[in-house]
């Protein structure tokens, strides 16, 4: 505020002096102008002294010299204009910093200060720092969630824009994990606090934000070094003009236009604007130094689990003895798995419920840590667990499932289901890719990142499949934390290197890298503390976005310096040649300062490398179409089962006919709705020439295969027609399964940006 007051005082004095000069009171005018200029000179002198005590030469010494020389040469009007330039520059700096740091201040302003706690005596208002784990809190409409915790009501609607940068509210269901900092955009709900306010997600973000706001960017230090050289150049030009011409006014004119405001203001403003821009996108950058280093990155190392993958096992495939069938095998296994909280058990139960299977209540459940489960389901003794667990129980492997032993090596792990002393089913579990991971890798490539490497502590075979899917340059598996540090140091010797990770074992490597990028939304506190950049939204594609923001901010900072100092240099030459008097020079320098700072503020806007498609409107049917994918994935399994069942007898004909009806009533209408509403809107948002063409072409292929199966079923239904149609029917079923699986994967990736926004 004092900067604005100083500007108002100088402006008032300048106008008062001008009024006196117009009335013919020249002496009084010069006195007024000198009076308003000298306090500004004292203010600048104080800043120069502080800089000298801090071990650096204050670049404002040029402005100080210009004011004092102008007063000494009786150029009071020029002195007042220089004072206006200095005061205006400081006021403009305050305004620009306010614009650049608005996102950071918004984060701090949203910090919850109180909470409503439900206790034995009813509802009580408590300070946020009094929240303890286990407290039951009531979050009312418009209030901010004060601590991390678990939703205890059926539904809650939250605005997480301050955490994620996404504008649309999200729906949470009973038991969902809630993060502090989100705002209640719906009705009141209850939650159970998992942490105190100081240990919450939002408190950690605020600590990182304060550190970012207080950090002095290295580019600003570099600007100070350049400014020192600029001071010497100014002294040479001003002194040379005076000595060669004997005209002290020329020296004054050089000093007036030489004030390096673009150098000392524009660079830090551009970097702080970049930090604010990143904060809006859910990326907390710990200061301008981290932002500048991020802009120079040429190699990115990734951890695997929790970074490139969600870190949760997912059911990849199911095999069962023919007498049982895959669906029944999954139902039995999931029924038993209800008795365990192990991630594999949770994954089996989630898939079974998603498929609408009716689970039975298990009894006499016994869980053996590190092994598996034993229990009774519908009167049948079952065991579910790893291969080692089955061997310890003396369970024999059924010959039909023997091939799964080799699959477990490549896919990740296999959970075996046994009954009657023999295995009856196997469930291949794998930690799949994050849906946004392929796009994140492609965007990093497009930004010129030349080397992408996975550095994982996981098994080599499991890591290799992820690396191959993402087309990474190298995959280094089974690495200890010390080995990860060695990899970082080896890569750093070749190019500036960033490390992306989320776990405690990644923290040393994050700290060792030129830039450590922590997946802070779901990662550990150790990783967030060690990282220079923290992603507070659980999306890997924000890594590429952060790099794009950093590069653009650094480019704009140097552009602002070049623009401002280039124009100032030309003005200095004109002043030294006597073509620019002090008064006009002061006005010109003010315009140069404004232009350089406004150019630096363009870092607040997204650049071409950062632009993302907007969210598709709700009436495009995105959520409905993606929800239908679960049913289509079940259709994939039934297509494979039907293909496997095709043999010399027509026993499989009724099942294939039922599949045909489902494809005609569900699959093809699904595709038509996508092409009618969803694809046109997605294409409009994505831009380019027909970005959905490949998906539409797949639709055409799927329709052709469905039509071929329908035609073959007509032939197969005739007398003696089964033998004629069966070979081609088998091939068509397998071809449709393969094409549909590919299409669903490609479509989910193409629409991932929209689905994550929604």
Q: Which residues are catalytic?
A: 303
110 secondary structure, DSSP code = T
DSSP 183: E
Q: Are strands 515-519 and 533-535 parallel, antiparallel or unpaired?
A: parallel
Helix residue ranges, H only, 23-101: 26-53, 61-72, 76-100
Instruction: Give just the sign of the alpha carbon dihedral 140, 143, 147, 151.
Output: positive
318 close to 325: Cβ distance less than 8 angstroms = no
DSSP string across 726-738: HHHHHHHHHHHHH
Range 613-616, long-range pairs (CB < 8 A, 24+ positions): 613/682, 613/685, 613/686, 613/687, 613/753, 613/754, 614/685, 614/757, 615/167, 615/168, 615/754, 615/757, 615/758, 616/678, 616/681, 616/682, 616/685, 616/754, 616/758
**Nearest in space to 610 (alpha carbons), one of 532, 550, 536, 520:** 550
Nearest alpha carbon to residue 345 among 323, 317, 367: 367
Q: How many of the other CB atoms lie within 10 Å of CB of 358?
A: 8
C-alpha dihedral, 691 to 693 to 696 to 697, nearest 10°: -150
Q: Tell me the two tokens of residue 150.
A: 């678990």
Q: Are strands 314-320 and 299-302 parallel, antiparallel or unpaired?
A: unpaired
According to DSSP, residue 287 is labeled S
Task: List the one residue out of 435, 757, 436 whose CA is nearest residue 616.
Answer: 757
Would you say how long the chain is, in residues? 758
DSSP secondary structure letters along 577-605: TTSS-HHHHHHHHHHHHHHHHHHHGGGGS
Judged on CB neighbours under 10 Å (0-12, 13-18, 19+), 370 is exposed
Contact 615, 757 (CB under 8 A): yes
Place of tokens 């910093």: 97
Answer for the pair 347, 314: CB distance below 8 angstroms, yes or no: yes
* DSSP element (H, E) containing 497: strand 497-501
Question: Of 552, 585, 554, 550, which Cα lies nearest the Cα of 571?
Answer: 585
CB 387 within 8 A of CB 408: yes
In this structure, are residues 339 and 362 in contact, taking their beta carbons and an 8 Å threshold? yes
Nearest to residue 371, comparing CAs of 391, 351, 353?
391
Rounded (5°) CA angle 104-550-535: 55
Q: Distance between alpha carbon 328 and the CA centroid of its chain, in Å?
A: 41
Residues paired with residue 428 on neighbouring β-strands, in sequence order? 317, 414
b/e per residue 151-188 (b: at least 16 CB within 10 A) = bbeeebbbbbbbbbbbeebbebeeeeebbbbbbbbeee
Question: Do 91 and 21 touch, CB atoms closer than 8 A?
Answer: no
Residues near 8 by beta carbon (within 8 Å), at least 6 away in sequence: none
């Amino acid at each position: 505020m004092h900067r604005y007051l100083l500007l108002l005082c100088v402006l008032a004095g300048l106008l008062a002096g001008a009024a006196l000069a117009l009335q013919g009171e020249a002496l009084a005018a010069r006195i007024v102008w000198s009076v308003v200029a000298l306090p500004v000179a004292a203010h600048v002198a104080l800043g120069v002294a502080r800089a000298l005590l801090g071990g650096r030469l204050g670049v404002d010494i040029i402005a100080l010299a210009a004011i004092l020389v102008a007063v000494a040469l009786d150029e009071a009007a020029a002195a007042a204009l220089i004072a206006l330039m200095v005061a205006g520059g400081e006021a403009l700096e305050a305004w620009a910093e306010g614009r650049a740091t608005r996102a950071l201040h918004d984060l701090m302003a949203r910090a919850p200060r109180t909470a409503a706690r439900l206790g034995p005596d009813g509802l009580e208002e408590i300070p946020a720092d009094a929240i303890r784990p286990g407290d039951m809190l009531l979050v009312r409409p418009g209030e901010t969630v004060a601590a991390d915790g678990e939703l205890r009501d059926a539904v809650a609607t939250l605005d997480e824009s301050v955490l994620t940068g996404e504008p649309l509210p999200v729906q949470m269901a009973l038991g969902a994990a809630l993060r502090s900092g989100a705002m209640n955009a719906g009705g009141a709900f209850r939650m159970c606090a998992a942490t105190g306010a100081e240990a919450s997600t939002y408190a950690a973000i605020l600590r990182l934000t304060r550190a970012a706001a207080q950090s002095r960017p290295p580019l600003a230090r570099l600007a100070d070094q350049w400014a020192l050289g600029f001071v010497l150049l100014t002294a040479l030009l001003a002194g040379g003009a005076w000595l060669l011409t004997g005209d002290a006014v020329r020296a004054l004119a050089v000093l007036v236009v030489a004030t390096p405001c673009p150098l000392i203001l524009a660079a830090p403003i551009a970097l702080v604007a970049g930090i604010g821009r990143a904060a809006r996108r859910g990326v907390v950058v710990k200061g301008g130094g981290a932002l500048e280093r991020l802009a120079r990155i040429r190699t990115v190392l990734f951890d695997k689990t929790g970074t490139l993958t969600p870190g949760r096992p997912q059911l990849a495939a199911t095999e069962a003895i023919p007498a049982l069938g895959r669906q029944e095998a999954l139902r039995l296994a999931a029924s038993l798995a209800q008795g365990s909280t192990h991630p594999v058990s949770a994954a089996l139960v989630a898939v079974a419920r998603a498929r609408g299977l009716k689970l039975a209540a298990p009894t006499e459940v016994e869980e053996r840590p590190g092994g598996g489960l034993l229990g009774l389901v519908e009167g049948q003794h079952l065991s579910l667990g790893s291969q080692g667990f089955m061997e310890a129980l003396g369970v024999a492997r059924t010959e039909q499932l023997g091939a799964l032993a080799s699959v477990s090596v490549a896919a990740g792990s296999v959970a075996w289901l046994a009954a009657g002393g023999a295995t009856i089913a196997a469930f291949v579990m794998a930690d799949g890719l994050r849906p946004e991971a392929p796009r994140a890798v492609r965007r990093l490539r497009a930004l010129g990142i030349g080397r992408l490497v996975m550095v994982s502590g996981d098994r080599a075979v499991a890591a290799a499949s992820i690396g191959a899917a993402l087309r990474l340059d190298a995959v280094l598996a089974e690495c200890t934390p010390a080995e990860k540090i060695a990899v970082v140091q080896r890569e750093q010797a070749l190019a500036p290197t960033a490390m992306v990770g989320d776990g405690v074992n990644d923290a040393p490597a994050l700290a060792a890298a030129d830039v450590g990028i922590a997946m802070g939304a779901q990662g550990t506190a150790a990783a967030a503390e060690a990282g220079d950049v923290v992603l507070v939204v659980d999306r890997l594609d924000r890594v590429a976005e952060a790099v794009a923001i950093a590069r653009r901010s650094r480019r704009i900072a140097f552009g602002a310096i070049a623009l401002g100092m280039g124009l100032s240099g030309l003005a200095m030459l004109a002043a030294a040649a006597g073509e620019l008097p002090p008064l006009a020079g002061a006005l010109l320098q003010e315009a140069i300062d404004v232009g350089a700072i406004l150019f630096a503020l363009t870092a607040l806007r997204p650049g071409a490398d950062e632009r993302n498609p907007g969210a598709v409107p709700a009436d495009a049917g995105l959520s409905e179409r993606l929800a239908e994918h679960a049913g289509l994935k079940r259709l994939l399994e039934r297509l494979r089962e039907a293909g496997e069942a095709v043999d010399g007898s027509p026993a499989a004909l009724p099942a294939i006919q039922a599949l045909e009806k489902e494809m005609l009533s569900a699959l093809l209408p699904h595709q038509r709705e996508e092409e009618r509403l969803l694809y046109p809107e997605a294409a409009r948002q994505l831009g380019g020439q027909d970005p959905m063409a490949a998906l539409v072409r797949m639709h055409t292929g799927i329709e052709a295969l469905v039509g071929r199966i329908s035609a073959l079923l007509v032939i197969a239904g005739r007398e003696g027609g089964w033998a004629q149609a069966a070979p081609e029917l088998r091939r068509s079923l397998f071809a449709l399964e393969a094409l549909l699986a590919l299409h669903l994967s490609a479509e989910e990736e193409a629409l991932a940006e929209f689905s994550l926004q929604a």
